[in-house]
């Protein structure tokens, strides 16, 4: 045996083997999200007005939640001012 040849016990990696398989498969939720991405892209392209409405609704909800967290009683105060006082006469649409 030559001096630089490795012993038979030395483990050599297979040059033609692919990457090692992962320990576990991705969750079904991650798979569903990846599968939904092309559908979501097509929906955004097909319905830009609906997407704009949904984005504005989400932005409004986030802003409203932030305002409510900062000023928790502002909503109640605004509606207390808008409600009629106990002594006021009720007015209808035909009353002018």
pLDDT tens per residue across span 12-58: 677 777 777 667 778 889 999 999 999 989 988 999 999 999 999 99
Report yes or no on 76 lying in a domain: yes
Give the pLDDT confidence score for residue 95 in this predicted structure: 54
Report yes or no on 63 lying in a domain: yes
Give the pLDDT confidence score for residue 35 in this predicted structure: 93
Q: Which domain holds residue 55?
A: 48-83
Q: Which residues contact 12 (CB under 8 A, 6 or more apart)?
A: 6
Q: Quick one: pLDDT band at residue 1, thresholds 50, 70, 90? A: low
- Other CB atoms within 10 Å distance of the CB of residue 43: 13
Report yes or no on 64 lying in a domain: yes
Q: Which residues contact 43 (CB under 8 A, 6 or more apart)?
A: 51
Alpha-carbon distances, residue 59 vs 52, 75, 90, 91 (angstroms): 10, 18, 37, 36
Alpha carbon distance 61, 59 (integer Å): 5
Decide: 56 and 63 in contact? Cβ < 8 Å. Answer: no
Instruction: Count structural domains, the chain.
Output: 1
């Amino acid at each position: 045996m030559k001096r630089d040849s490795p012993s038979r016990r030395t483990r050599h990696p297979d040059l033609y083997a692919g990457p090692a398989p992962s320990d576990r498969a991705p969750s079904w939720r991650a798979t569903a999200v990846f599968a939904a991405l092309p559908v979501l892209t097509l929906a955004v392209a097909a319905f830009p007005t609906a997407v704009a409405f949904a984005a504005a609704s989400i932005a409004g909800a986030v802003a409203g939640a932030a305002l409510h967290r900062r000023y928790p009683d502002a909503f109640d105060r605004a509606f207390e001012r808008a409600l009629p006082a106990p002594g006021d006469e009720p007015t209808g649409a035909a009353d002018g």
